[in-house]
């Protein structure tokens, strides 16, 4: 680096931050374990991996494979248990310098408080209520395919799921009819069968949350356009209309195969509704109008925007994350460097020069 002092060499280097706590969710346990372990190791840190208590097995196997591949003992460690016990102990440990967490906004805020009090780095990838906006000029088949994929993959148990679908009134009737037909044809069963699209909800606790959101919406006047029925722990793809602010499903993340479809007058109303949420993770718009698409990208309060593509999308090198209740910081192989290293500035005053008087 240049220096304004004659005869002085100036340089800056990055140093590993130390021990990183990586806390992964139940819905994509292997993908997140790989993602939250790779970057800390690549930047010279060690990792303590805490998987969700609802899906711990893959993380143990993943760590075992790393050790079999020759990673030094202690470089990757796995602990398991409930977050309220093991998680708090891990996150508050003085040797842990960065916490990388994927999960609910409620837990993320709690972790943020712990990290803030101890001046630790935190990367929090949290929940979402992601809007998919469909304008009158949209390709109907593309809109339906995008809505089906973006909502019902992983049984809707994804932070990026298109849980709010906002449709201009000129295409609304055609869209809702085609969307209902497509959703009702999705196969349910054992996910070990490659032809199965929808499997079970992860746990009784999550099943009860999904059921509560559906029941609360219907009780307060919503209409179930399709779905709403249960087959043991499997919920049919459910499309709701007539959603109001009095309903839990309007603002709360359901994390199940339940989406709300709204009809709006025009693009401005669609944008306003899309921004009417405390979350700001992913968003998408289906339109052939490039000006409106770019206006949406500029003005939507979200960390990610996809044009003519689903809200449910990720790549390992991008700055992944959201705003508001959807998180703090970003994940990705490039941006991870900032959270996982510390800068150190070094200067050398050459002996042949004099210090300023």
The set of catalytic residues is 125, 159
State how far the Cα of 29 lies from the Cα of 51, in Å rounded to an integer.
7
Structure tokens at 42: 């690549």
State how far the Cα of 122 lies from the Cα of 328, in Å rounded to an integer.
7
Cβ neighbours, 10 Å, residue 337: 13
User: Coil, strand or helix: which one is 117?
Assistant: helix
Asked if 57 contacts 206 with a C-beta cutoff of 8 angstroms, the reply is no
Asked if 186 contacts 257 with a C-beta cutoff of 8 angstroms, the reply is no
Structure tokens at 338: 């900032």
Structure tokens at 273: 């509704």
Q: 238-262 burial by CB neighbour count: b if 16+ within 10 A, else e?
A: bbbbbbeeebebbebbbbbbbbbbb
């Amino acid at each position: 680096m240049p220096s304004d002092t004659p005869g002085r060499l100036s340089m800056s280097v990055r140093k590993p931050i130390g021990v990183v706590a990586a806390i992964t969710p139940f819905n994509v346990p292997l993908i997140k374990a790989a993602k939250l372990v790779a970057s800390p190791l690549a930047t010279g840190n060690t990792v303590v991996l805490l998987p969700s208590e609802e899906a711990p097995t893959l993380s143990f196997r993943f760590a075992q494979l790393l050790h079999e591949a020759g990673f030094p003992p202690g470089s990757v460690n796995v602990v398991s248990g409930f977050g309220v016990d093991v998680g708090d102990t891990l996150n508050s440990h003085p040797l842990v310098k960065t916490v990388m967490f994927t999960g609910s906004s409620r837990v993320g805020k709690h972790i943020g408080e712990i990290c803030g009090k101890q001046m630790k780095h935190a990367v929090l990838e949290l929940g979402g209520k992601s809007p998919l906006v469909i304008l009158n000029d949209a390709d109907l088949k593309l809109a339906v395919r995008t809505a089906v994929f973006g909502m019902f993959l992983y049984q809707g148990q994804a932070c990026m799921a298109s849980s709010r679908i906002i449709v201009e009134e000129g295409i609304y009737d055609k869209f809702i009819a085609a969307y209902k037909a497509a959703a009702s044809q999705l196969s349910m069963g054992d996910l070990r069968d490659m032809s199965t699209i929808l499997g079970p909800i992860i746990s009784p606790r999550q099943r009860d949350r999904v059921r509560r959101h559906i029941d609360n919406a219907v009780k307060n006047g919503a209409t179930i356009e399709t779905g709403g029925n249960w087959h043991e722990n499997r919920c049919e793809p459910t499309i709701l209309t007539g959603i109001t602010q009095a309903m839990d499903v309007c603002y709360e993340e359901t994390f199940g195969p339940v989406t709300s479809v709204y009809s709006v007058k025009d693009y401005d109303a669609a944008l306003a509704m899309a921004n009417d949420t405390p979350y700001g993770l992913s968003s998408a718009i289906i339109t052939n109008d490039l000006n409106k698409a770019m206006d949406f990208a500029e003005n939507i309060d979200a960390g990610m925007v996809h044009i003519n593509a689903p809200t449910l999308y990720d790549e390992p090198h991008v700055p992944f994350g959201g705003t508001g209740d959807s998180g703090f910081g970003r994940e990705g192989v490039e941006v991870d460097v900032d959270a996982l290293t510390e800068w150190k500035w070094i200067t050398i005053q050459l002996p042949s020069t004099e210090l300023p008087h």
